Structure 1
Amino acid sequence: MNNVREELEKIEIPKELHERSKLGIRSAKAEKRKRKLSKKIIISAAASVFFISSIGVGAASIPSFNHLLSIVSPQLALLLQPIEMSSEDKGIKMEVVAAMNDEEMAVIYVAMQDLKGNRIDETLDLYDYSLTGARAFNSQIVDYDEASNSAILRIQANGGEELSGKKVNFRIDSFLSNKQIFENVKVDTDLNEVTKNKPQITLLNTDNISSGGQIFEEVEKQDTIQILKTDQKEIYLPEIEFMHISNIGFIDDRLHIQTKWERDSIDDHGFFYLTDDLGKKIIASNISFDGNKYIEYIFDKGPADIEKLKLMGEFVANGNHITGKWNTTFQMQAVQEEKNKNFRQNFGTWTAEKMTVSPFGVTLYGEGKFNSAAEILVSAKMKDGSIQIFDSTISLNEDRKVQVKFLSDLPVEVSNIDSININGVEMNQ
């Protein structure tokens, strides 16, 4: 998976997770390459650690469950619990294959198959969906079979402590497919000319904006922030109907690119980056305001840095929007092996006060404002001397309550953990 794709997947979604945020544009002049978006998935803790139970005798009679076993890691294959609950509408079948939760997270595997057409493809992305009692959703394809028009997705949600032992309903009301991605897009703008013109700027109140990237902490500390004045330019890009560049210029030695979005865009998104002669990529921070109608991308690069840099981007068009009614009801079963530990550490914008360890990973609880741009290094030393790294992060920040879960590439055997290390601070288990 290339660096640009990784950055696209890491773009922060403000507000509710199932509410789509338009965090980019799709552009094209020279060097554009248009193709279907294919998500390459490596089955890891984020995709495999979540079903800690034994396989029942009847599991062999479930074709979708058997197929799931064939694509996940051997460690997980010994732990999965089947669900086998399905729903069909408009010629599309949805089946909940497996599910599990701990005190913070619920994860289910869902299979979808188009029985009458080709509305399911490798770009399948759930749009309007829910799991009762859970919040902060995301979904990702872990397998796609073109011959049968079917795919398996991993659905992940916070709120696991409210689900243990309860019957829950998983519902899908719409999904997206036939997405297209535009990679290595060169934006036809002369940045050296931009340095010669002083743009009009304005102050924006930070109370009603969302931000991501390195500018996050700066925005949090200020009541207002300088941005480009809106609607000063109309730079339209070929084949782009859902947005245009509404201003571009430098503010305090930073390159700002402002975009304006159409209100009826479903899930078109992407990001800008600068690249040098060696291909090194510099990703922009972003500020969204006016209900995500405007997104301003901010590079920590001034006029003196721009001469040898190219402005590039990677953008996604959402494709088809399929609606229907797919829902199933089933019982969640919580992971039993879990340890709680008092832990206090200041991370700048928030302070952790508690830690839990489960087969899902390590979770920190605290108060403040979580900064997704700040790196937190978490690992576990096992009793046999091996080290397990937790390099995937999922966070929830509501009413200044912070909950951050760190995931690993393999299921965690809690009883075999000797110590946990967080940013160099080691705690014995």
Structure 2
Amino acid sequence: MTAENLYEAISEISSQYIEEADIRFINKSKIWKRVLTAAACLLLCFSFSVPALAAADNSIAYELLYFVSPAFAQKLKPVREICEDNGIKMEVIAANLEGDTVNILMAMQDMTGNRITASSDLMDSYSIYTPYNQTAGCNLEKFDSETGTALWAITIDQYESKLKPGDKITFSVSEILSKKEHTEMALESIVITDIREANNFAIDPQIRGCAGYYDENDIESTPLLFPDRTGYQLCDGVTLTGTGLVDGKLHIQVKYDDILNTDNHGYAYLKNSSGEIINYNYSVAFWADNKADSYEEYVFDIAYEELADCEVMGEFWTCNNAPIQGSWQVTFPISQ
């Protein structure tokens, strides 16, 4: 199904289907970012005129209702702004403004091969320009393997200044990751009962971020393990570089290779004999000396006596191919 077919399918949704369809899509976690404010943006693309929305039954559209809210699908306004670069076409199919939220459907299709996949990722390379300060998230919702077309949902949440019908939005992308791999595994190289108090710590680590439940005192007072330079490779692009007990807390350190170009990431967790999952309390990430690789240290505040009943697990997302470079940008007006 091409991006054009996708748009036509959405626009031909029967009101009967809309009323009867269940909202069965899964809200995946989105990476949110601040929307960029711009007085004017260059329009680098071309647009097509759009016929009025039809009201014919369409089984493909009915299938799409499992991936977008039926209420949202009913209110979609056609956009049809297209931009093509490096053999990949980007199209903003439809959008709507409702209250404090702007919803946008965007498709990307490889016109020359199969570089766009079900695991494609825009990383942090996308930008959204509006006249006001806002935040936005972009999430891959559906992939059509027959045509290599991926459908993204973009959501903009507004602050005090609200977008008005007729205001323009510019959406741009500069990099696409393709063929990402997902690995979930037991970290069998870690023997819980062999873990001892750590006594070798990183000196002045260049912290790049934190996650989980923590306060500033946790981060400032937490010694971080000195990375094992050889380590134990867990999967391509991910290496276990340290374990230890620090002030009664379990620390597990993992290195992710070349994160700015691969978006390699993941996390470690514990699972006890009953199958219960024990997540880390917080994590601290810091740069390797080469400023390309990143160490992430997962901290578990769990009694030592309970550790003996646990195994260490890991879940990782990796992509060790170079990102697809390009300049994709579309500008379009928003309507209610």
Spell out, residue by residue over 1:214-273, the C-alpha distance to the aligned partner (whole angstroms, 9 max, x if none): 2x2xx2346722223423563221543x34333211122211012334446520111111
- Cα distance, 1:102 vs structure 2: 5.3
Match of 1:287 among 284, 309, 312: 284
Counterparts of 1:287 and 1:85, CA distance in 2 = 41
- Cα distance, 1:59 vs structure 2: 2.6
Report if aligned partners of 1:243, 1:261 keep a CA contact under 8 Å in 2. yes
- Cα distance, 1:315 vs structure 2: 0.4
- Cα distance, 1:103 vs structure 2: 6.4
Unaligned runs of 5+ in 2: 1-25, 36-49
3-state SS of the aligned residue for 1:173? strand
Residue 117 (structure 2) aligns with:
121
Report if aligned partners of 1:257, 1:298 keep a CA contact under 8 Å in 2. yes
Give the direction of change, closer, same or farther, for the CA distance of 1:223–1:179 in structure 2 (3 Å limit). closer
Query: Percent identity between the aligned chains?
Result: 27
Counterparts of 2:225 and 2:245, CA distance in 1 = 12
Aligned residues between the structures: 280
- Cα distance, 1:163 vs structure 2: 3.6
Residue 130 (structure 1) aligns with:
127
With normalisation by structure 2, the TM-score equals 0.71
Unaligned runs of 5+ in 1: 1-5, 19-55, 335-429
| 1:271 and 2:272 correspond | no
- Cα distance, 1:68 vs structure 2: 8.6
Q: Pairwise mapping of residues 342-353 of structure 1 onto structure 2 (< 5 A)?
A: none
Report if aligned partners of 2:225, 2:243 keep a CA contact under 8 Å in 1. no
AA of the residue aligned to 2:324: I
3-state SS of the aligned residue for 2:216? helix
Report if aligned partners of 2:174, 2:325 keep a CA contact under 8 Å in 1. yes
Return the structure number with greater strand share.
Answer: 1
Counterparts of 1:267 and 1:286, CA distance in 2 = 17
Residue 235 (structure 1) aligns with:
231
Aligned-CA RMSD value: 3.5
Report if aligned partners of 1:87, 1:94 keep a CA contact under 8 Å in 2. yes
- Cα distance, 1:154 vs structure 2: 0.5
Give the direction of change, closer, same or farther, for the CA distance of 1:271–1:60 in structure 2 (3 Å limit). same
AA of the residue aligned to 1:179: K
3-state SS of the aligned residue for 2:210? strand
Residue 331 (structure 1) aligns with:
333
- Cα distance, 1:286 vs structure 2: 0.9
With normalisation by structure 1, the TM-score equals 0.57
Spell out, residue by residue over 1:372-410, the C-alpha distance to the aligned partner (whole angstroms, 9 max, x if none): xxxxxxxxxxxxxxxxxxxxxxxxxxxxxxxxxxxxxxx
AA of the residue aligned to 1:184: M
AA of the residue aligned to 2:278: I
Counterparts of 2:332 and 2:221, CA distance in 1 = 48
Give the direction of change, closer, same or farther, for the CA distance of 1:114–1:76 in structure 2 (3 Å limit). same
Residue 180 (structure 1) aligns with:
181
Residue 81 (structure 1) aligns with:
77
Counterparts of 2:180 and 2:327, CA distance in 1 = 22
Q: Pairwise mapping of residues 63-82 of structure 1 onto structure 2 (< 5 A)?
A: 67=61, 70-71=64-65, 72-82=68-78
Counterparts of 1:278 and 1:148, CA distance in 2 = 44
3-state SS of the aligned residue for 1:256? strand
AA of the residue aligned to 2:311: K
Report if aligned partners of 1:203, 1:225 keep a CA contact under 8 Å in 2. no
Q: Pairwise mapping of residues 192-341 of structure 1 onto structure 2 (< 5 A)?
A: 192-195=193-196, 197-201=197-201, 210-214=209-213, 216=214, 219-221=215-217, 224-232=220-228, 234-240=230-236, 242-263=237-258, 265-284=261-280, 285-290=282-287, 293-320=294-321, 321-333=323-335
Match of 2:52 among 39, 51, 58: 58
Residue 152 (structure 1) aligns with:
151
Counterparts of 1:78 and 1:13, CA distance in 2 = 26
